[in-house]
Amino acid sequence: MKDVTFVNVLKLRGSYGKVGNDNITNRWLYMTTWTYGGNTPLGASSGQNSPYTWWSEAHTNVGNPDIHWETVTKKDLGLDFTLLNGLVSGTADVFSDYRTDILLNGASRAVPSYFGVQPATANLGKVRNKGYEVELRLNKRVSKNLRVWANVNMSHSKDKIVDADDPQLLDDYLKKAGKQIGQAYSYVSSGYYNTWDQVYGSTQLNTYDNQKLPGNLNMIDYNGDGVVDNKDVVPAGYPERPQNTYNATIGAEWKGFSLFVQFYGVSNANRYLQLVSFGGQYHYDNVYKQGAYWSPQNTNAAVPVPRYASVMPYYGTTYLYDGSYIRLKNAEFAYTFNAARVRRVGINGLRVYLNGDNLLLWTKMPDDREVSQGAATAYPTIRRVNLGCNITF
């Protein structure tokens, strides 16, 4: 009977370091740009101008002589292990990144407009990122001709903006600090206007208020100032970038046959995909299959009432979808011919295969497309199936 060692490898590792980042688009942020033109009156009543040309700072290019690299402090604690004579192996890591001195351009800084020009870019941002990664590998020789294997891994990463130079008097829900990078925001509705009485008694909209109809979404005046505007946009869901990713590859080999499938998935993500139908009276408007429209008989419908010549400016979270999915990303079935047999026909090796990419998808998204924020016309993800062979001479 073969001896089995429970623990073959067990290694604990850790790392700590600080690195810099100078990968910025403008490498002359320390320099102020000057413009010139015209001249100055010599006096209130002299009627004469100075002979000297007027020079002034450019309104959008004020330099910052204290500009410097962004820095990030990285910490990682990991474990490597192999168990049961190689039957099970894997790694586990816990990491933390603390990025400071992040460059914020003048338009993102909390400087009032009466400053006169756009403020200089400055190293003011701070972001913390924490997470973990786990990988597990299985490898089992069942018999002389049969081997099964699997590779499963999962990662979790969540960042948090610590400081973004937010205005001090800004409401917390509008500040970037405390949120994730790319946090999704949205208006929030309390359902539909189902009657004209509800329309007349609703909060004023700052745009297209006179075009409200029963069947429109009733937007919430979040800050209670009596009008629905951009101050009522609140954090909703997750960023488009997922917090969790999963991958599982499972395979088997028997004699000359081999088979593997790879599943890939993500969770804790939201994607905005606006599929507005009948948005105007133009013949080229798109119409999307989205479910039942609102009607007086169906007041819990999936989407608002269709319209022809009116505008509904706010759709709330209607098109903010759960971006989680599981995808059969790859699969392959192959057969490798016995080398001694194929040499009889003058070749050294022959392998035939049938494989495919993006074969199946499980998701709450309306379809499968390579989409980023707002890209309703993005190209659909391609499904590929290949039949081929590899010949070695």
In the beta sheet, which residues pair with residue 55? 36
Report pLDDT for 379: 74
Given pLDDT bands bounded at 50, 70 and 90, which one contains residue 309?
confident
Residue pLDDT, tens place only, 343-381: 888 788 889 999 999 999 999 988 887 655 555 566 778
Give the mean pLDDT of 299-327. 88
Check residue 46 and give its pLDDT. Answer: 66
At 308, list the tokens: 């022809």
Specify whether the CB–CB gap between 256 and 338 falls below 8 A: yes
According to the model, what pLDDT value does residue 57 have? 77
Q: Report the pLDDT value the prediction gives residue 368, as an integer from 0 to 100.
A: 82
pLDDT at 105 over 60: yes
Q: pLDDT band at residue 244, thresholds of 50, 70 and 90?
A: very high
- The confidence score (pLDDT) of residue 238 equals 93
Whether pLDDT at 2 is above 70: no
76 or 341, greater pLDDT: 76
Structure confidence at residue 201 as a pLDDT band (50, 70, 90): very high
**Are 228 and 206 contacting, i.e. CB atoms less than 8 angstroms apart?**
yes
pLDDT at 289: 81
Q: What is the pLDDT of residue 73?
A: 96
Average pLDDT over residues 105-111: 87
Residue 102 pLDDT: 92
Distance of CA 97 to the CA centre of its chain: 19
Nearest to 315 by CA among 210, 173, 219: 219
Q: Identify the weakest region by mean pLDDT among 188-197, 246-255, 301-310.
A: 301-310
pTM to 2 decimal places: 0.83
The pLDDT of residue 1 is above 70: no
Mean pLDDT for the chain? 88
Is residue 209 scored above 90 in pLDDT? yes
Looking at residue 170, the DSSP 8-state letter turns out to be S
Which residues, listed in sequence order, are joined to residue 131 by a DSSP beta bridge?
Answer: 95, 157
- Which residues are CB-neighbours of 206 under 8 A, at least 6 positions away? 227, 228, 229
Instruction: Give pLDDT, residue 312.
Output: 86
Q: Residue 342: helix, strand or coil by DSSP?
A: helix
Q: What is the DSSP letter of 24?
A: -
Q: Which residue did the predictor score with more confidence, 25 or 166? A: 166
Predicted confidence (pLDDT) at residue 321 exceeds the cutoff of 60: yes
Q: What's the average model confidence in pLDDT over 268-279?
A: 82
DSSP notation for 249-279: EEEEEETTEEEEEEEEEEES-EEE-----S-
Residue 59: per-residue pLDDT = 73
pLDDT tens digits, residue range 36-93?
Answer: 877 777 776 667 888 788 787 777 778 889 988 899 999 999 999 999 888 999 999 9
Statement: residue 292 has pLDDT above 70: yes
- Provide the pLDDT confidence category of residue 196 given band limits of 50, 70 and 90: very high
Say if strands 55-57 and 70-83 run parallel, antiparallel, or are unpaired.
unpaired
DSSP for 235-254 reads: E-S--SS-SEEEEEEEEEEE
**pLDDT-derived band at 264, boundaries 50, 70, 90:** very high
What is the SS3 assignment for 174? helix
Residue pair 226/203 in contact by the 8 Å Cβ criterion: yes
